A and B are shown apart, each in its own frame.
Chain A
Amino acid sequence: MTATAERPNPSASPAIDLSRCHEEPIHIPGAIQPHGVLLVLAEPGLVIRQASRSTADLLGVEAEKLLGVEAELVLGEVARDAIREGLATVGEALNPLRIPVKVRGETVVFDGVLHRTEGLVVLELENPRPEGQTAAADPLLDRHYRLIQETVARLVRCDSVEGIAEVVAEKVREFLGFDRVMVYKFEEDGHGWVVAEDKAEDLEPYLGLHFPATDIPEQARRLYATNWLRLIADVGYAPSPIVPVSNPATGRPLDLGKSVLRSVSPVHLQYLKNMGVGSSMSISLMRGDQLWGLIACHHRTAKYVPYAARLACVLFGTVLSAQIVAAEQSLRTEERARKRDLLAALLQDISRHGSVTRGLLDEPEKLLALVGATGAAVSFSGDVSLVGQAPGPDRVERILAHLDAAKVPDIYATDRLGVELPDAKHDEATACGLLVIRFPSGDYLAFFRPEVVRTVRWAGNPHQPAVERPPAVAGEPPVLSPRASFAEWAETVRGRSAPWDPAELQLAQELRNALSVHILRQEAELAKLNRQLAAKNEEMSQFLYTISHDLKSPLVTCRGFIGLLREDLAEHRYDEVEDFARRVDDAAAHMGRMIEDLLHLYRLGRSARSPRPIDLRQLASELREEYAVRLAGKGAELVAAPDLPERVVADPVALKRTLDNLLTNAIKYACDGPVRTLTLGGSVERGEVRIYLRDHGPGVPAEHRERIFQLFQRLAPAGMEGSGVGLASVAKVMRLHGGRAWVDETPGGGATFWLAFPDQPRSWAAVGGPSGGTGGETAAEGVS
């Protein structure tokens, strides 16, 4: 491929294939802009090997005549020394060099810009002026200084990218006098948009408009990342070819990647002409080694900017780049903090409502803002709720069904649902992008984003007829059609939403984690309620069984003996009447006791527990007093063992009732042997306080030790029966305290009944002083 073939003349070829833009080797155009001169010098003698044809105009010598000639002979000794000094200096720090040249007998001073490429020295001369005007550079330098000082002072106060960009656009325009200065930002897909703009009042605003990636093709963006400033002094220029085309030393066309006079792509020139631009300058804005964007300057007519001023702009661009990086960083940090606050607020709403759905939908904007969605579907416990712009519930369900079939992970995001799930028949207007969070329970949370074409204000967008590009320059064919470029771009992004960024996916993960905990907790609570309900049911059926069975027993006795009584009375037999009447009386009394105990047992489940610290030694002495007569009747005694814990936190009424039950049983059944001492003791271990009542009676056989705590399971021998409710009450009281009751063997024979109270305060200081025990009768009445 020759350079010539790659330089189609815009006027000669009316149709330029835009899709081939990216193939154009713009770094080797073989020509420069004609407002300067380019010379390729071979060291050590600085012999001219290539020259631009503009030498004829600017130096008064045909390019061909310069080839093979030492630069000193053309430019003079002063220029030669300046060049040698420049080459000896590291980098290009000395640019611009002051190069005085005798042209047609007059001394003309050029700005000389030196750089090396491919082992060659390239000297570019521009800004020719008569010798006397050199002093003008000083006020310019002064203005650079003031510009940078003022701008930096204002930038420090800006905290947003847009704010910084606005200041820069305004200051650059003020400094250089362009008709329009824009800050243009590249997005990941290569398309870009105008972040800030300062312009002449009568120009069409471009602010906020997006431009397709083809407008600034990839190799141009690459070039901009290494060469940070470009000037097209006159869009209507005729390129000045370099002769010869190929460098004699390398055999290749000269690489103009670092040239300041490089002739630009004819496509680009046409593009600028289409936009009504007469001259253009752009400064690269870098984020690290990535091209972040451009400061793009447009002027309606030709405009030259001297090298020194351009240098100031590059410096300016560097400062701006640093500011932008910092602002973006702090924006990201702020954004993260804001999203975390949002997430925390959502979780608080859920806790407050006690429901995931109601919490998430409390303020739907919060939910949507969390991941930057325009719509959402929330489905927990089978109910689907929609917020914002979302597809209908049927469509959402269908999408979810397709996700299930595709076995996607629990968190799934796509910016092109139509491509990923072509069968889901999604709606591009609402659900082009999808972010879904799913739970094993079948619950899910789906976020939606619309097709991006519908959200972007596109330069030349057919949907926005009010915004049009300036017409092409008269006489030039409109080779670059804005509508065509939009159509091409739209084709590439059709069916896509704005992408979900990693921070948003991270938030989705955090939301899922938090909700999982909530869902699990709700399930656990439900399971607990179910268990409690089952236990309640069991208790209730036990209760009914008891009423139907055990209460009938004394009834049989009553009616039986009343029958016998009647017969005897009818037959005037009176010897057994007294006995029969007593039997009826006893049975009725027994029945009354059972009813009372059952009612008490039943009420246990309903009475609110009010645990407080109880002084156990005081309680023991109160019991001793209360049971003195009954104990004495059996020749028994009640003692408090040294290991009896000082205090226990329990419901005083229930505890008293429980100990009453145990003591009554012990006095009744376990005080007939040789040892008739009942001992109250216990232990404290790992937050659990245990209390025992020990006797030396017949004991409870191992096989009955569980059964006796059930309702109406009696072990007492006939004639010594209780109601069969006492130990069931004990067990129930302990369950209500979260503890348990059991019986084991007293060493040497007898039974030891245990009561365990868990979750006791480890530090008694935290509980306060002892309550002063319980008052016997008053406490018992307090139950009902």
Chain B
Amino acid sequence: MTPVNSSTASDRQAPLSFLLVEDDDGHAQLMMHALKRGRHPLTVRRVADGDEALAYLTGERPEEEAELPDMILLDLNLPRVNGLEVLRRLKADEALRMIPVVMMTTSDAESDRASAYRNYVNSYVVKPSELEQFRRLVEDLTDYWGTWNRPAPINN
């Protein structure tokens, strides 16, 4: 659960910082792995459930990570406070609502997709099971949010 620094690609821009909210250790490790081997410089902090995620975002952060993440990768099916509820609370918060949230889930259900967008999710993606595709997804995500659609700075 240590932040990962990647500096393989050009440093034209400051590295993106990610918050990964994922209860499944395997999924989390795969995600970290894919992010680590990607082309973009980035940092990742992983939390394991909704409670932890909200606590982290609302101030209970270690001192060295005083700043909020640029992006949130949010699993839908979480223990305690599920992903949708985390999303709802984030989007109800004046400051936190600016952080793009990408819902990452195995569910392809219409109802889940609709609930997520109804609660102002910024992106909804279904986790692919094949490793190559998983990698490509992560690559595309970092490409898109790191190059073409950079989040607005919210820390001041």
A→B interface (CB under 8 Å): 545, 548-550, 552-564, 567, 583, 586-587, 704, 712-719, 721
Contact = CB atoms under 8 A, between A and B. Distances in A.
A549 B108 CA distance: 7
B80 A564 contact: no
Chain B, interface SS category: loop
* Chain A to chain B: the 9 pairs with minimum beta-carbon distance, closest first: A563-B131, A557-B26, A718-B48, A552-B106, A560-B30, A549-B107, A714-B79, A718-B23, A559-B129
Interface in B113-156: 127-132, 134
Given A553-B24, A557-B27, A564-B33, 13 more contacts: A548-B107, A552-B129, A556-B128, A557-B24, A560-B134, A563-B131, A563-B134, A583-B29, A587-B26, A713-B82, A714-B77, A714-B79, A718-B48
A560 B23 contact: no
A719 B109 contact: no
Interface string B8-33: 00000000000000011111011001
B70 interface: no
Contacts of A554: 26
A241 to B, nearest CB: 110
A549 B134 contact: no
Interface residues of B, number: 27
Nearest to B134: A560
Contacts of B134: 556, 560, 563
Contacts of A718: 23-25, 48-49, 79
B30 A556 contact: yes
Given A550-B106, A563-B130, A556 B49 contact: no
Nearest to B132: A563
Nearest to A712: B77
Given A555-B129, A559-B131, A563-B130, A717 B26 contact: no
Interface of B: 23-27, 29-30, 33, 48-49, 77, 79-80, 82, 105-109, 112, 127-132, 134
Contacts of A557: 24, 26-27, 30
B78 to A, nearest CB: 8
A409 B131 CA distance: 76
Contacts of B129: 552, 555-556, 558-560
B114 to A, nearest CB: 14
B77 A716 contact: no
Given A583-B29, A586-B26, A718-B25, A549 B131 contact: no
A548 B80 contact: no
Most A CB atoms within 10 A — which of B26, B112, B127?
A: B26
A564 B131 contact: yes
A586 B27 CA distance: 12
Given A549-B109, A556-B129, A716 B27 contact: no
A557 to B, nearest CB: 3
Contacts of A586: 26
Nearest to B75: A553
Contacts of A714: 77, 79
A127 B128 CA distance: 129
B109 A545 contact: yes
A694 to B, nearest CB: 22
A586 B25 CA distance: 11
Contacts of A704: 80
Nearest to A551: B106
29 contacts: A545-B109, A548-B109, A549-B105, A549-B106, A549-B107, A549-B109, A552-B106, A553-B106, A554-B26, A555-B106, A556-B26, A556-B106, A556-B128, A556-B129, A556-B134, A557-B24, A557-B26, A557-B27, A559-B129, A560-B26, A560-B129, A560-B134, A561-B26, A563-B130, A564-B30, A712-B77, A715-B79, A716-B79, A721-B79
A718 B48 CA distance: 6
B47 to A, nearest CB: 9
Contacts of A561: 26, 30
A500 B77 CA distance: 72
A557 B130 CA distance: 9
Contact of A717 (B33, B80, B106, B127): B80
A259 to B, nearest CB: 102
Contacts of B26: 554, 556-557, 560-561, 583, 586-587
Nearest to A716: B79
A638 to B, nearest CB: 26
B61 to A, nearest CB: 19
Most B CB atoms within 10 A — which of A556, A563, A713?
A: A556
Contacts of B106: 549-550, 552-553, 555-556
A552 to B, nearest CB: 4
Nearest to B31: A560
B129 to A, nearest CB: 4
B48 A717 contact: yes
Nearest to A567: B131
A559 B107 CA distance: 17
Contact of A719 (B48, B127, B128): B48
Most B CB atoms within 10 A — which of A548, A555, A718, A721?
A: A718
B127 to A, nearest CB: 5
A556 B77 CA distance: 14
B135 to A, nearest CB: 8
B79 A717 contact: yes
B50 to A, nearest CB: 10
A14 B111 CA distance: 100
A178 B105 CA distance: 111
Nearest to B126: A552
Given A553-B24, A556-B106, A562 B80 contact: no
Nearest to A587: B26
B49 A717 contact: yes
Given A557-B26, A721-B23, A562 B131 contact: yes
